[in-house]
Structure 1
């Protein structure tokens, strides 16, 4: 039989204990996952399904990250989560913006593998090959690693002075590569990393010169380059939606204007994750993808047309080196376009949408949470 003092204590404490156990738990538990969010995730995604659904949902509902229009997570070669914003779907083509540079990087790799270009030789640009022109020292490798030394100021202020704006919309718009190639050197080739859309446009011109050397018109040059893109990349990768825009000179706008659906951007990420192979067929040599994902001598967080999940050593933080895997790399585009790839985690994450620069850090944090689930 309980002692009177203990009985009195239990009588006084029991209501409080019951209230605590029956409370709403708002301080320790999360709200239920919305059914629509859970529906976007397969039954067995390789991690806790509810956690992945919640992380994906955050990409669409979190305040201050802009508008997510499509998100795909692939693990082990399978789609484990796929969701679209209102008005968008798996057939919607999305502009890759600077993710286009990575597509261009792969095209250059095909031409190098074919022996039609060489990494450590100057590219075939006639105006640079004139006697005494110091730009004749720029190599293909340096262009791919954004260290050409050319005077291209990305995101300059005021905006109309910015290299990519002048090239695409102002004095360079009719012949974008011609404008980019006409710029003088501001530093010795190879010495300094400087992210440059004009450099990528030069690479597109180089590809065009090799693929269509005898094209008599801009229209013919465009047609031949489009056929090459289709035959060597789109068809082998199964990227039926892959298409590029061209300037009036017939040059592919490979720095910013390549389009594809979200599933096709995911196929591109998987192709990179598998080091250039698709269903056992080696489309581009493994060594080329390894080169693309190796840090540039002048930038620890950039390879050759891809960003690496490494500390930049400065104030630039494109990915999340303190949280994500060291082998993670990405194609990254204006307004928050991402194809994130981690071979060690067998992971590809695609996010497409519209996020202004002030909100980019919050978006990156949200994407990092998805990647972190696959530790």
Structure 2
């Protein structure tokens, strides 16, 4: 009996050591992710706590957290078995922000000025529905589309009742500016705001195209980072940063304590997370995907304006509200910087508008927001990416999706968010969901294959 107790004691000790070394340090990230997720999903999209916990937060370890919503003060607290309590506060116009104990919630803050343009135009250039005069709910039937094949591809992208594998929340297919297919999972509809995660990176990069067209920025010049001016990092250009090809050290691993998780769930100023990293490669020859780079770009963008208010307003006035993405919201960190790497929200239709802007090479209903050459620039492979990556857009040039055209380029986000642009087919496809295992090749091939060029 004593021997058994000794063995049990040793095993218990080993378990406690493991928990202390491996698990306990992660609790900040677990409760931080949970608090931020609940606050955003509840206050931005109106989802219930139960819905968020069973949907958005049913991730390994994240589901350990216990969450409480304070409706009156508009914040969420989360902890893991009472340990490592974290708090996320919600502010109208800025979204939810994960805060620490030093953050002063009573401090005044700036809010972006929005311009909700109203007109009598149908989608995508206005908010009116496209005229549904046909039995299938469409206003146009294209002779070159196999609608049975198209609808089968869309239907197959969703789970059947009782299943939880594909986890698609919404799909929209737009051909020649017309919605030819649109479907939502139970609990979601055309007004549901969905987090794009890293699709926000593509949005962030677009502002550099806009500034370049306005003649206010040259992306080929060295990045304006004071900390880099006395070493080799001074050679890093904005162009290198846009291509994720700076040569800077960065670990993008969401399964552990890494550069990206410390930035998103611990840092007060996310624009600083990449700045102190050393060179481990050569600029323009060392492709390495980095959310820290995108938030550094958000910080560079902020430096282009005299005031914080101007920075906030520019984000919406020159792009988001300009193309009628009125549901869209990009959340900020504790220092008021847009979290351009990860925290952009919008309805599926509004994400599609962003794709259409690139399909039309920056032209939105007659107004050129960025030069046509910018659309080619973001879709041109960067050195070392094997045709997978351009300038803050992913590419199919390397044939990642064999059943899709190689000219396809796309914004991509965690858990399978995608805005895919097909210049050769005059087509935009959006898929929002909760699974990285989704068969994008089969789905994209099915939709594209239903259209005869």
Distance 1:296 1:192 in 2: 10
1:198-217: per-residue Cα shift (whole Å, max 9, x none)? 11111111111113x3x3xx
- The answer to whether structure 1 residue 341 and structure 2 residue 392 are counterparts is no
Q: Deviations over 1:35-94 (max 9, x none)?
A: xxx957777254122211111100113667521111100001111111111111111111
Whether the 8 Å CA contact 1:41–1:49 is kept in 2: the answer is: no
1:256 to 331, 342, 345: 342
Say if 1:40 and 1:53, in contact at 8 Å, map to a contact too. Answer: no
Q: Report the equivalent of 2:430.
A: 350
Q: Within 2, Cα distance between the matches of 1:42 and 1:48?
A: 16
Matched, 1:190 2:284: yes
Task: Give the match for residue 365 of structure 1.
Answer: 442
Q: How does 1:293-312 map to 2 (within 5 A)?
A: 293-299=379-385, 300-311=387-398
| Helix, strand or coil at the partner of 2:425 | coil
- Alpha-carbon distance between aligned partners in 2 of 1:373 and 1:48, rounded to the nearest angstrom: 5
Corresponding residue to 2:333 among 220, 226, 247: 247
**Structure 2 residue 195 is the aligned partner of structure 1 residue 118:** no
Write the distance in 2 (CA, Å) between the matches of 1:240 and 1:231: 11
Provide, for residues 309-336 of structure 1, a one-character-per-residue CA deviation record: whole Å limited to 9, x for no partner: 1227xxxx4xx1x221121111111100
Match of 1:76 among 152, 164, 176: 176
Bigger RCO of structures 1 and 2 (CA < 8 A, at least 6 apart): 1
Gaps of 5+ in 2: 1-134
Query: Per-residue displacement from partner, 1:5-63 (whole Å, max 9, x unpaired)?
Result: xxxxxxxxxxxxxxxxxxxxxxxxxxxxxxxxx95777725412221111110011366
What is the rounded CA distance, in whole Å, between the counterparts of 2:248 and 2:364 in structure 1? 36
Within a 5 Å distance, the mapping from 1:325-340 to structure 2 comes to: 325-340=405-420
Q: Is the 8 A contact 2:192 2:348 kept in 1?
A: yes
The one-character-per-residue Cα deviations of 1:328-350 (angstroms, maximum 9, x if unpaired) are: 11111110001111111111000
Aligned pairs for 1:31-180 (under 5 A) are: 44-45=141-142, 46-61=144-159, 65-129=165-229, 132-155=230-253, 159-161=256-258, 163-170=259-266, 173-180=267-274
2:366 corresponds in structure 1 to: 280
Aligned residues: 314
Distance 1:295 1:350 in 2: 22
Which of the pair has more CA radius of gyration?
A: 1
State the alpha-carbon separation in 2 of the partners of residues 112 and 68 from structure 1.
37
* Structure 2 residue aligned with 1:209: 303
Instruction: Supply the distance in 2 between the matched residues of 1:82 and 1:104 (Cα, whole angstroms).
Output: 27
Separation of aligned partners in 2, 1:40 and 1:181: 51
* 8 Å contact kept, 1:276–1:284: yes
Whether the aligned pair in 2 keeps the contact of 1:41 and 1:82 (CA below 8 Å) is no
Question: Relative to 1, partners in 2 of residues 1:255 and 1:196: Cα closer, same or farther, differing over 3 Å?
Answer: same
Alignment check: 8 A CA contact 2:205 2:391 kept: yes
- Output the CA distance in 2 between the equivalents of 1:65 and 1:75: 28
The ranges of structure 1 where at least 4 consecutive aligned residues each deviate by more than 3 angstroms after the TM superposition are 38-43, 62-65
SS for the counterpart of 1:111 is helix
* 1:267 equivalent in structure 2: 353
Higher helix share: 1
Give, in angstroms, the shift of residue 120 of structure 1.
1.4
TM-score (norm 2): 0.66
Please give the secondary structure, in 2, of the residue aligned with 1:71. Answer: strand
Mapped partners of 1:326, 1:115: distance in 2: 32
